Amino acid sequence: MTRPSRVVIDKQALKHNLQRVRELAPNSKIMAIIKADAYGHGLIRVAQTLNHADAFGVACLEEAEQLRAAEISNKIVLLEGPHKAIDLSRIVELKLDIVIHHQSQLNILEQAKLDESIQAWIKIDTGMHRLGFPVGKVSEVLERVSNCKNIKQNPILMTHFATANEMNNPLTQQQLKSFTQICDGLNYEKTIANSAAIINFPETHADWVRPGLMLYGVSPMKDGNANEQELKSVMTLESEIISIQHLSQGDSVGYGATWQCPEDMPVGVIAAGYGDGFPRHAKSGTPILVNNVRCSLIGRASMDMLTVDLRNQPEAKIGDHVILWGQSLPIEEIAQHADTISYELLCGVHKRLGFVERG
Ligand SMILES: *Cc1c(COP(=O)(O)O)cnc(C)c1O
């Protein structure tokens, strides 16, 4: 018997969203961001489907290894760069690009003996204060880069926004200004924009854009939805009803008895839970589609099961179809009900689920 819960990946939607990025940023090359197993969608599957991307961005060498092992020949950028000197020879063998964001990486590159030089992306911290060289150090860093035989002579300049998902946060314009000033007169390629900036701030598109979330058909905007951006959701998390109870007014449901029936009513049990990546913090009232009709989560999510109010679907039967998020039920809404963001839900989908491809 197969478990009724599964993840459906719509490859046509994925291609559509890449095309949408091309329309929004027609003069930029695209680095498709596929870290964290392509935001939970499957690293190799997504790389093969988006084989027209100009580059792929991943977090670590292990992800790049998997891509090369699957004969993905596109440019691949290690977004955190090398962590250790020992990584460098493998980086050369696999023909990877690296982000250099810290002096310690320059040190190991200066000391290494490599067969070939490496393409570098120099990350500048303009206000996110996570990775990157401070603005005041950039000319010194570029000097070291140009004297380092292990680094190719055309570094690409890069920065990352902290607040591009908010329309009016002044930090975004400050970061842009700071980056533009530091790059003034430097004849290198540049990259700034993540999904939110691709959508909201065309002036940030530069030579390369770096879309992540929007490729998966999800809006990066606070309170946004993907339809507004003409994006198509790629992942559907679906399951089935495995039991139905007819409960009485006052009966409580689930662990902690956090929810009581306001009247006599049918309650369905769904074969998916936090062990599959459905958020345990989702509140009663989180929407769930049963036979494509909106119903509500009630009580706490368990490891393998959820309980759903079936008053909107009184005729529902065991085996009926359930959607927890997907094209007809935006993951943005589920994230809001669980006090989290879509990114976390996507990455958290459990690999024990079967993955099915469509399109
Ligand atoms: C993850 C990441 C992105 C993509 O961000 P989204 O908000 O998913 O578009 C872009 N650039 C860098 C450096 C990243 O780490």
Say how many Å lie between the CA of residue 195 and the centre of ligand 1: 7
Residue where one domain finishes, among candidates 218, 248, 279: 218
* Residue range 26-61, pLDDT digits in tens: 999 999 999 999 999 999 999 999 999 999 999 999
Residues 171 and 22 reside in one and the same domain? yes
Range of the domain at 284: 235-358
Shared domain for 199 and 239, answered yes or no, is no
CATH code where residue 269 lies: 2.40.37.10
Q: How far is the CA of 17 from the centre of ligand 1 (A)?
A: 15
CA 123 to ligand 1: nearest atom = 13
Task: Please tell me the predicted confidence (pLDDT) of residue 56.
Answer: 99
Closest C-alpha to ligand 1, atom 6: 212
pTM, two decimal places = 0.96
- Residue 140: what pLDDT? 97
By annotation, the residues acting in catalysis are 35, 255
129 and 242 in a single domain? The answer is: no
Q: pLDDT digit string (tens) for 217-274?
A: 999 987 777 777 899 999 999 999 999 999 999 999 999 999 999 999 999 999 999 9
Tell me, using a 6 A CB cutoff, whether residue 18 lines ligand 1.
no
**Distance from Cα 96 to the centre of ligand 1, integer Å:** 18
CB of 17 within 6 A of ligand 1: the answer is: no
Asked if residue 3 belongs to a domain, the reply is no
Per-residue pLDDT of 305-335, as tens digits, reads 999 999 999 999 999 999 999 999 999 999 9
Write out the chain in H/E/C secondary structure: CCCCCEEEEEHHHHHHHHHHHHHHCCCCEEEEECHHHHHCCCHHHHHHHCCCCCEEEECCHHHHHHHHHCCCCCEEEECCCCCCCCHHHHHHHCCCEEEECCHHHHHHHHHCCCCCCECEEEEEECCCCCCCEEHHHHHHHHHHHHHCCCECCCCEEECCCCCCCCCCCHHHHHHHHHHHHHHCCCCCCEECCCHHHHHHCHHHCCCEECCCHHHHCCCCCCCCCHHHHCCCCCEEEEEEEEEEEEECCCCEECHHHCEECCCCEEEEEECCCHHHCCCCCCCCCCEEEECCEEEEEECCCCCCCEEEECCCCCCCCCCCEEEEEECCECHHHHHHHCCCCHHHHHHCCCCCCEEEEEC
pLDDT digits (tens, 9 = 90+) for 139-184: 999 999 999 999 999 999 999 999 999 999 999 999 999 999 999 9
CATH number at residue 44: 3.20.20.10
Which of 172, 194, 218, 222 should be mutated for ligand 1, with most atoms under 8 A from CB? 194
Q: Average pLDDT, stretch 71-93? A: 97
